Structure 1
């Protein structure tokens, strides 16, 4: 049986180390690669954030990059409530993330733009700093 291709994920909110849904507590365990950055807008939705990629208001959003298995990706899809069609809370994107002087193509869970209307923009790009302040 061929091994599944290597996949990476960029986590910027509750899936970060110490967060409510800390990815390091999930199974099968991920492998930490390093801190990463992407340009986007971070929103305070409720007890969790949402990220839209790019845009005129974009700032540098920080997060963690992990190597994951297809089994863990399925767990993440469930946490992020991925469903087919335009009503999904998040959409899965493949994005180049700056990691320790290089780039890594990562899965990013981008919030559905319809879900962030009238939500608070986090003027900086660090959910952990915002959430703990």
Structure 2
């Protein structure tokens, strides 16, 4: 995986929702299309959390953005996603994983993966977060 990837894969409140952080993403990135990765998507509260599992038969679906100013943007997004220096206390971790694009190509993207227990959380079975809560 490319630790210097300039792409971000979003599957939750950063994709197409009306909030300041989604707005900052749209201002500092170019939408590249839809994609997915193997894993599970859970409803945490009013927002989802994804767990990457390369062996899962289910997929997490979302959007791919090419970042125009990744360093500055990640400072803001890491804060939004509660990414801390102490990983065990972080709500999410920003990791680079391979995303399958709409045309079935692979692209290394940064993704915010859920970093807490998913025990008892409802699974979003189709892997698509809809702002319905």
5+ residue gaps in structure 1? none
Q: CA RMSD for the aligned pairs?
A: 2.2
**Secondary structure of the structure 1 residue equivalent to 2:123:** strand
Q: Identify if the C-alpha distance between structure 1 residues 95 and 19 changes in structure 2 by more than 3 Å, giving closer, same or farther.
A: farther
Which 4+ runs in 1 deviate beyond 2 A? 18-23, 55-58
Distance 1:56 1:113 in 2: 20
* Aligned pairs (5 A) from 1:65-80: 65-68=64-67, 69=69, 70-80=71-81
> Do the aligned partners of 2:39 and 2:54 also contact (CA within 8 Å) in 1?
yes
Paired residues, number: 125
Q: What TM-score, normalized to structure 2?
A: 0.83
5+ residue gaps in structure 2? none
* Aligned pairs (5 A) from 1:1-133: 7-18=6-17, 20=19, 23=22, 25-26=23-24, 28-54=27-53, 58-68=57-67, 69=69, 70-85=71-86, 86-101=88-103, 102-114=105-117, 116-128=118-130, 131-132=131-132
> Do the aligned partners of 1:40 and 1:52 also contact (CA within 8 Å) in 2?
yes
